[in-house]
Structure 1
Amino acid sequence: MDPDAPHPGSAMPDPAGAGGAEPPGRRLAPRHASSPARPRSTSWTLSLVLVAVLAFAGSLAGFGVLRLQGNVRTVGDLGALIARDDEGGSTATPDTDAWEGRPLNFLVIGSDDRGGANGEIGGVVGGMRSDTALLVHVAADRSRVEVVSIPRDSEVRIPACHLDRDPAGRMSEPTKDKFNAAFSLGGASGDPGLAGLCTAATVAENTGIDVGADFAIVDFAGFEGMVDAIGGVRLCVPEAIRDTHRNTDLDLDAGWHDLTGGQALDYVRARYVTGSDNSDTQRIPRQQKFIGAVVRKVTSSDVLTSPRSIAGFLEQGTRALTLSGDLASMRSLAGLGWRMRGLDPEQVTFVTVPTGPKPGSAGRVLWTDDADLLWQRIAADEPVAPEPTPGSTSTPAPDATGDQATPGGVPPPAGTDVPQPAVTPRTAEDPDDVLCG
Structure 2
Amino acid sequence: MSDPWDGPGGQGTRSRTARVPAQRADEADGAPPPAGGRGAARKAAREAARPRRGTRARRATPVGRGRRALRIAGLCTALGVLGTAGVGWWFYQHLNGNIHSVSLDGKGGTEKADAFGRTPINILVMGSDGRTSKTDCKLGGGCSRTGVQSGSNADVEMVVHISADRSNATVMSIPRDTMTKVPACADSATGRSTAGYYGQINSALQYGPACQVATVHQLTGIPIDHFVKLDFSGVVKMSDAVGGVSVCVTDDVYDTYSHLKLSRGSHTLKGVAALEFVRSRHGFGDGSDLGRTISQHIFLGAMIRKFKSAGTLTDPSAVYGLADAATKALTVDDGLGSVKKLIGLATDVNKVPTKRMTFTTMQTGADPGDSNRVVVGSGAKALFSAIAGDRSLSTGSGKKPGAASATAGAKATASAVPASDIAVTVQNGTAITGRASVVADALTGQGFGTGTTTGNAPSPAATTTLTYGAGQKAEARTVAEALGLPASHLKQGAGAGLTLVVGADWPSGATWPGGSPSASSAPADTGAAVSNAHAQTADQAKTCAKVSPYRTVSLNGVPMTPAQAYAAARGKPDSDG
- TM-score, normalised on structure 1? 0.70
Structure 1 segment 18-417 matched on structure 2, within 5 A: 65-75=92-102, 77-79=103-105, 82=107, 84=109, 101-116=118-133, 117-122=135-140, 123=143, 124-130=147-153, 131-164=155-188, 172-184=194-206, 186=207, 195-212=208-225, 214-243=226-255, 246-273=256-283, 276-384=285-393, 385-388=401-404, 394-396=418-420, 401=440, 403-406=442-445, 416=519, 417=521
Shift of 1:294: 1.0
**Greater Cα radius of gyration, structure 1 or 2:** 2
Shift of 1:317: 1.8
1:163–1:172 contact (8 Å) kept in structure 2: no
Shift of 1:435: 11
> Which region of structure 1 is more displaced relative to structure 2, 287-296 or 154-163?
154-163
Secondary structure of 1:405 counterpart: helix
2:168–2:356 contact (8 Å) kept in structure 1: yes
1:65–1:331 contact (8 Å) kept in structure 2: no
Aligned partners of 1:150 and 1:202: how far apart in 2?
12
2:231–2:329 contact (8 Å) kept in structure 1: yes
Shift of 1:232: 1.6
Match of 1:267, as an amino acid? Answer: F
Aligned partners of 2:545 and 2:193: how far apart in 1?
53
Change (3 A) 1:217 1:398: farther
Matched residue, 2:397: none
What's the % identity of the aligned pairs? 31
Match of 1:101, as an amino acid? Answer: R
Aligned partners of 1:435 and 1:171: how far apart in 2?
39
2:108–2:213 contact (8 Å) kept in structure 1: no
Aligned partners of 1:351 and 1:286: how far apart in 2?
11
Q: Deviations over 1:352-401 (max 9, x none)?
A: 11001112412100111311111111111002354416996644266594
Aligned partners of 1:208 and 1:433: how far apart in 2?
31
Structure 1 segment 5-20 matched on structure 2, within 5 A: none
Match of 2:236, as an amino acid? Answer: E
Aligned partners of 2:175 and 2:544: how far apart in 1?
29
Aligned partners of 1:162 and 1:435: how far apart in 2?
39
Aligned partners of 2:545 and 2:330: how far apart in 1?
36
Q: Deviations over 1:73-119 (max 9, x none)?
A: 112x453x75956799xxxxxxxxxx971111121222223233323
Shift of 1:174: 2.6
Shift of 1:286: 0.7
Change (3 A) 1:145 1:78: closer
Match of 2:404, as an amino acid? Answer: P
Aligned partners of 1:289 and 1:258: how far apart in 2?
13
Aligned partners of 1:138 and 1:300: how far apart in 2?
20
Q: Deviations over 1:272-312 (max 9, x none)?
A: 22x74322222111111011111111211242343222221
Aligned partners of 1:160 and 1:346: how far apart in 2?
39
2:128–2:230 contact (8 Å) kept in structure 1: yes
Secondary structure of 1:180 counterpart: helix
1:380–1:414 contact (8 Å) kept in structure 2: no
Matched residue, 1:10: none
Aligned partners of 2:171 and 2:345: how far apart in 1?
16
Match of 2:247, as an amino acid? Answer: L
Aligned partners of 1:170 and 1:323: how far apart in 2?
19
Count of residues paired in the alignment: 347
Shift of 1:251: 2.3
Match of 2:157, as an amino acid? Answer: A
Match of 2:443, as an amino acid? Answer: Q
2:234–2:330 contact (8 Å) kept in structure 1: no
Change (3 A) 1:157 1:197: same
Change (3 A) 1:173 1:296: same
Match of 2:202, as an amino acid? Answer: N
Secondary structure of 1:231 counterpart: coil
Match of 1:204, as an amino acid? Answer: H
1:226–1:317 contact (8 Å) kept in structure 2: yes
Change (3 A) 1:248 1:434: closer
Task: Please provide the CA RMSD for this pair.
Answer: 3.6
Secondary structure of 1:277 counterpart: coil
- TM-score, normalised on structure 2? 0.54
Matched residue, 2:535: 425
1:222–1:319 contact (8 Å) kept in structure 2: yes
Aligned partners of 2:158 and 2:323: how far apart in 1?
20
